[in-house]
Structure 1
């Protein structure tokens, strides 16, 4: 019985004690509780909390002292009773875990979840449970997270993760890179070990915002007998690829061996082809089963802000990574709640299945970048940069930004015309797009980070120019209140821009680049995806 007393009388752990788990950190229940609150903790609250913790510790010490005086036979008795209650509780829990939850699973489209091996609480599998912890639990329970699956998955599969992936950039910068990483992985017939979205800190699961093959959904069948390996998360990566079985490829060192130059020197398509060749080399001993990419990113800004990235478009636009791209169930849920008000559509309009390539008739969405771009546009002019990534695809009528005069005052003014247009210049562009659609456009939705007074003023100017309905990001009827809605807001804006009959954006913005990407994959008329500049109309 002395061991029981030693357990209760054991002192606190050493402050230098560490957990040696080779896993990504998880959100604790305390963190989740704090995130649900207001986030405004006063000094008095902290002092009260500290005093409460001191009282709790002193009370615990008194209880331990009292425990040491209890006769051993009573300890055995109460221990037996406690174990009995614990056994009953475990039996009840096992019975409850066997209930049929098929009708509480998230509505399609979403990821398949392995119900047999899941360890998450049943409440986490309810279609409207979007807490970060439950999203994490569902992600961990994906069916491909199984060591016993046959090749090309399981313990014999080939995997790749990108330690050099940007995580301290905005969501859309991260989205651009992860799509390219997933595409390269798929071309190399390797399972892509995706990472969390790292900004804003402390980050959140990728599947909280993104669905489709890049986030773990199955690829279409290549033929009757083969399907490409599915993407996995970092939790399973650490299981299927123990540290001793990983090999690191430094992008600069390996690239030099393959004859590639510095970032931005080579065509994007050549970079992809060379790395596919390297990652698919014969490996009979399995020494390259698990690859970690290190060094600078393959798709850093020297390539992303370079017209050479566009050479990838012809192939990636046909890849399932893009053709099967979808938003996560949370985003679709918020979108369905707000799209009627954002698009000025009647309530009788039924939102189509998100897996279809539908169009919202009569709607023009415009992306008006303000705020940080007041200074950033001047930097873009000074640095001599072109448009962002997929905004440079030649099929788009406004994709060609003439910077032959760089550097000069005229070139600087030309960049500002595209990057920071005045209200009058934007109205001119709206008329141009309306004329192209032969007047079918009636309603406008403004997605913007601008201030309320600016948006209200611009709204009135648009209405005065003959448009029927105008709604903007800060309109009372579309202001999102809950944490889940706010997190989804940027993706909801992008989804409505993707589905709109026409779209005008800022070619320097990664948001606009990704919207243009989705519209082109959906085969929208190229002349309905525009940027803030005078177009070459044909």
Structure 2
């Protein structure tokens, strides 16, 4: 075990709320909720959405949220991945984020119970003392409701429940596979938007920070999410299902929006619409260069000329010669300093938090260009808006 991993495990174990003698609503008489139905072995940002919203729900339900390790999907983990088929790699949550969702303090004077680790949950809430709530008993009635209705249903249930220890679990077999409290069908639709006002102002969002082991990003930068690799198939699927932008990327006050043309249905689309999806979801080299140019001009114009953008950071999973061609085209368009995710030299432990490094660079960059269908982009949008970044600094292809 690396030193910082050991340090973080020790730090989490010694959180001050991990004390049975604390007064209500913490300690042995406290109120807790663990979402064992949280998704695992998927990309970090699909997990991150859920971590934050579940923590917000716990806060509004006056219960301590139980935070859990990030469990990697094998093929997303670049170190010794085949050794972990039965025991997937885990990263402490505090290696990726900090704040109340990961056990950090609330605002001064806030008497909400602090989040606890899943290890401490086993101590303060032994299995025999837990009330188990299965999502199959709650979700069918609200599956397609608006986000605020779904949230309120769960909030009232957790708030009114007299049991101090609650564990939300998924059915062993589920027909659609999306057993989360806030599932992909919600995140991938405009039904999530009624939650923005409360979620963005929640201390879960306001006090969200970076892990102490994540480095600081550059300034005077335009950061851009350039997802390639396997994304063409994903874009074709999005077109086939007429998918909207994802989650907070749908906010109406942001400058760029996507509307598919007429035609298409549930599971199919017209050739014209499919081409339109690909144009925005998997843009060409020339389209990317043009989007960077326009986004820079719009941002500088909004600041009345008192702004400078002279560094470009590309958040990407592309390892092909196409990326070299893109960088050459961007240099020809005036960008002399260009770096990508692939320029980072990472050991095993740093690889564990590489997505947090990329996210923090994009969060702090002066301008960010993202992919509207991406959960990664959506989480960056959330953090930038909570930080007070201008909408003109948040763009989509």
* TM-score in same-fold range (> 0.5): yes
Equivalent residue in structure 1 for 2:365, among 500, 508, 511 = 500
Q: Higher Cα Rg: structure 1 or 2?
A: 1
In structure 1, what is the equivalent of residue 165 of structure 2?
290
Which residue number in structure 1 is paired with residue 325 of structure 2? 457
| Count of aligned positions | 365
Let me know the Cα RMSD of the aligned residues. Answer: 1.7
1:408 aligns with 2:270: yes
What does residue range 347-386 of structure 1 map to in structure 2 within 5 Å? 360-361=219-220, 363-386=221-244
- What are the Cα deviations for residues 283-304 of structure 1, in whole angstroms up to 9, with x where unaligned? 3xxxx11111123211111111
Contact 1:387 1:401 (C-alpha < 8 Å) held by counterparts:
no
**Does 2:65 match 1:192?**
yes
**Structure 1 unaligned regions, length at least 5:** 1-31, 37-128, 344-359, 533-538
Deviation of the 1:329 alpha carbon: 0.9
Higher relative contact order (CA 8 A, sep 6+): 2
Point out 4+ residue stretches in structure 1 off by more than 3 angstroms: 399-405
**Equivalent residues in 2 for 1:234-383, closer than 5 Å:** 234-255=118-139, 260-261=141-142, 263=143, 265-281=144-160, 283=162, 288-295=163-170, 296-331=179-214, 335-336=215-216, 339=217, 343=218, 360-361=219-220, 363-383=221-241
- Please state how far the C-alpha of 1:405 moved relative to its aligned partner: 3.5
Displacement of 1:141 in angstroms is 1.1
Number of the residue aligned with 2:287: 425
SS at match of 2:90: coil
- Compute the displacement of 1:457 (Å): 1.7
Tell me the secondary structure at the aligned position of residue 166 of structure 1. coil
Per-residue CA deviations over 1:488-530 (Å, capped at 9, x if unaligned) read 2211111111111101011111111111111111111101100
The normalised TM-score by structure 2 is 0.88
8 Å CA contact 1:374, 1:420 repeated in 2 = yes
Per the alignment, residue 336 of structure 2 pairs with: 468
Structure 1 291/425 Cα, relative in aligned 2: closer, same or farther at 3 Å? Answer: same
- Structure-1 residue corresponding to 2:7: 134
Aligned-partner SS, 1:426: helix
Matched with 2:83 is none
Give structure 2 stretches of 5+ with no counterpart. 74-87, 171-178
Alignment of 1:206 with 2:93, yes or no, is yes
CA distance in 1, matches of 2:228, 2:274: 18
